[in-house]
Each structure stands twice: as C-alpha cells, then as structure tokens.
Amino acid sequence: MIYLDNGATTFHKPESVIQAVADAMRCMGNSGRGSHEASLKASRIIYDTRAMLAAMFGLRDPSRVAFTANSTESLNMAIQGLFSPGDHVITTALEHNSVLRPLYRLREQGVELTIVRADRQGNIRYEDIREAVKPSTKGVVCTHGSNLTGNLVDIGRVGKNCAEAGILLVVDASQTAGVFDIDMEAMGIDVLCFTGHKSLLGPQGTGGICVREGVEVRPLVVGGSGVQTYSQAHPRQMPVALEAGTLNSHGIAGLHAALAFIEETGMERIWYRELMLMRRFYEGVRALPGVRVYGDFSDMDRHAPIVTLNIRDYDSGEVADELMERYGICTRPGAHCAPLLHRALGTEGQGAVRFSMSYFNTEEEMDLAAMAVRELAS
C-alpha cells in the first residue's frame, strides 16, 4: 500500500509514538484528579507537552495551551467562544467546514459574516480582507494552508492587518503545524487551532487551542475541572477553562513523543523532505495530457505537501477507486469538506483527487503514483 492521504491523517507514525501510547495505558491515571503516582505521571507528561507546543508556536506561557480532541473542536471553541450577535467576522473561501459551519451557525444567531472569495488558482486577495473591515468587525478566521490545494496564506501579513485594525486573528493550522514555522507573537495570531494526528505525527483524538494572553475564550463545554469544585461556575483561568472533563492523557503521551521526534529530526528537515516529495510528484503529472492540477505552485517553498488533480472528466471517486484497486495507492477524492473552494475551482460536480505526502513517503512511491496517473489518463 502507498499511503498518500496524509492530509486526512498521517498513517505512518514514529515507532516512539506507538510505544508511548502503549506505555501510557499501562501506567497513567487521571491527570489532576489525585496525588498518587499514576495521576502525577499523567500530569507531568501533559505539562511537558504543553511546554513543547508553546515553544513550537511561539507562545510564552504554556498554560495558554489547552488540549482538545481535534481541530474541529478547537475551532468550534474559538469561534463560538469569541464572537457574539452583532459582531462582524471575516473568513475566506479557502476554509474547511470546521470553520464555515460554526460561522454559519453564528450567522443564524445574529453575527454578520463576510467571506473573501478565492480565484481559480485558489488564492485570495489580502486587500479584500483589509477592505472588509468595518467598525463592528471583531475578528478574522482563516486557514494557514488549504487542505484542498495546499496553498499557504501569508498569516504574518493578515496578522499585521488585524493588529492595525484592532481585531482578533484566529488561525486554523491543521495542515501546517509540525512542518511550517508558526510564531504566534511574530505573526500576530491571537488564537491558534491545531490537530495532533496530521503533520504533528501524533495519535488521533489529540489537538489543541493556543490562546494569546489577554484574549478570553468562553468555554464551549463546562463541568468537571478538578479545581474550584464548590463554585457553580466553571473556572475561567487557562488551561482548565477550556479543558472540562478528563483529558486524553494516553493520546497526549503519544503527541509528546511525536513532538520529540520532530524536535530531534528538525522541522526544517521534515519540511524539506515533504517539499521534495511533493515537487517530484507534481513534476511527474503537471504536463500530462488530460490531467489538470489545482492550486498555485509558483512558489513551492510556500506550499503544503498536497497535489490535487483531476483526470479528464472522470469522477474523482472512480479515479481514487482505480488508484487503490489497481495500484494500491490511497488518496482522497470528493469535496474535502471545502465546498466554497471547490466552487471557486469549478470542481463542485467532479470533485478532485488529493495526493498528500508525509515525511515517511519515498521517492519511489512518488514515481509510482505519477506513473499510475499517467496510465489512467492515457
């Protein structure tokens, strides 16, 4: 099997991640719910993982990192916890439904929403974001990298515009965390949402939300906190404000091991290898008759390891089935939970086939995948 669906979840994990989860299940209790060794072990690994994530994302205070199950939960927390009826929010046509659907729900409740359009290459005009700001604007919610085309957004530029306008910036880093440098302070990011199971190479069921000091997110879920038990209100201090209930300490232990792997390997080395693999596959398919590649590849250094394409007018689901059945290649067809970008690309009906690479793929796999596309297009 050649696994090229890493934009959905990375399949090949460092062996240390698998071992860490297994070890945690043998020795960890419930963090913050006791003073015995099993509880303390969980507390230590959770704190260490917070500190590693804070360092990775340029956040000075590790307590401003709260753990969640995935980016979808993090984004719901941020969007529903920051904006209220009467606020104006700006987003883009690049977004995943994890951003769009919470915003649509808020729109029904009285939040005004502006969606900045994308062009046929899947790019937005930064001027459109700046020009959409008005007195009632509370914030911008946007992705760092498209899960459909791989195009990156210049978050530093958006963050500067938001800071000048005095509004919040919420960033979805689902496709970029662990591969591209993210510095919340330098980029002007107020809230960063990420998942652990994609390019961070951790287990499914892990994710988080990083909240800049001075920004308060209303809790989406309240309940057990392990502290302030006799208070009728859920605690407001981070991270417990956004961590009601038992944390996934076993999964977080795996994420800890994944972060250690990234640190030891070097993020730049990981980025370079994924870029090389993407470029190799792209060069093998971009000029094939009958093949159309989507996205902007004019600056590959600023492109997530994703190549999305269609073959002639073939249904993307049928192409993906052929790739799996005939060649053992795993891809992602369909709409990718990115309806507005498919509309901008003109692929609503056909969908598209996404090839997404990881550090553990090989050059030979890229060549075999390109050969498969060539044969299906012939």
For the segment 114-171, what is each residue's pLDDT rounded down to a tens digit? 999 999 999 999 999 999 999 999 999 999 999 999 999 999 999 999 999 999 999 9
Look at residue 254 and give its three-state secondary structure. helix
pLDDT at 258: 98
The confidence score (pLDDT) of residue 310 equals 98
pLDDT score for 35? 82
- For residue 313, give the DSSP letter: T
Could you give the count of Cα atoms lying within 13 Å of 151 in the half-sphere of its Cβ?
25
Q: What are phi and psi of 50, to 5 degrees?
A: -55, -45
Residue where the block lists tokens 């911008």: 140
Beta-bridge mates of residue 311: 291
pLDDT at 83 over 90: yes
Read off the pLDDT band of 222 (50, 70, 90).
confident
DSSP 154-199: -HHHHHHHHHHHT-EEEEE-TTTBTTB---HHHHT-SEEEEESSST
Interacting residues of 270 by C-beta distance below 8 A, sequence separation 6+: 178, 179, 262, 359
Residue of higher predicted confidence among 128 and 224: 128
CA angle at residue 198 from 285 to 212, to 5 degrees? 125
Mean pLDDT to the nearest integer, 240-248: 91
If you average pLDDT over every residue of the chain, what do you get? 96
Task: Judge contact between 205 and 21, C-beta under 8 A.
Answer: no
- Give percent of the chain above pLDDT 70: 100
- Using DSSP's 3-state secondary structure scheme, residue 345 falls into helix
pLDDT tier, 194 (very low <50, low <70, confident <90, very high otherwise): very high
- Which residues fall within 8 angstroms of residue 80, CB to CB, at 6 or more apart? 102, 105, 106, 218, 220
pLDDT attached to residue 289? 98
Position 161 scores a pLDDT of 97
Query: Where does residue 83 rank: exposed (0-12), middle (13-18), buried (19+ CB within 10 A)?
Result: buried
Whether 33 shows a pLDDT value over 90: the answer reads: no
pLDDT in tens, 307-365: 999 999 999 999 999 999 999 999 999 999 999 999 999 999 999 999 999 999 999 99
Contact in structure between 176 and 8 (CB atoms under 8 Å): no
Which helix (H) or strand (E) element contains residue 208? strand 207-211
Model pLDDT for residues 42-82, shown as the tens digit of each residue: 999 999 999 999 999 999 999 999 999 999 999 999 999 99
pLDDT for 230 equals: 86
* pLDDT of res. 229: 76
CA 11 to CA 4: how far, in whole Å?
Answer: 9
CA 323 and chain centroid, separation:
26
117: buried, middle or exposed (CB in 10 Å: 19+, 13-18, 0-12)? middle
Per-residue pLDDT, 248? 96
CB-CB contact of 342 with 256 (8 Å): no
* pLDDT value of position 245: 87
What is the chain's percent helix, strand, coil content, to nearest 5? Answer: 40, 15, 40
Give the pLDDT score at 55: 98
332 phi and psi, to 5 degrees? -125, 115
Asked if the model's pLDDT at residue 89 lies above 80, the reply is yes
Specify the pLDDT at position 234: 82
The yes-or-no verdict on residue 263 having pLDDT over 80 is: yes
Burial of 377 (0-12, 13-18, 19+ CB in 10 A): middle
Residues 309-331 as b/e (b if ≥16 CB within 10 A, e otherwise) read bbbeeebbeebbebbeeebebbb
What domains are there in the chain, each with its CATH number?
Answer: 15-265 (3.40.640.10), 266-377 (3.90.1150.10)
Integer Cα distance of 256 and 24 in angstroms: 11
Which residues, 6+ apart, have CB-to-CB distance to 163 below 8 Å? 188
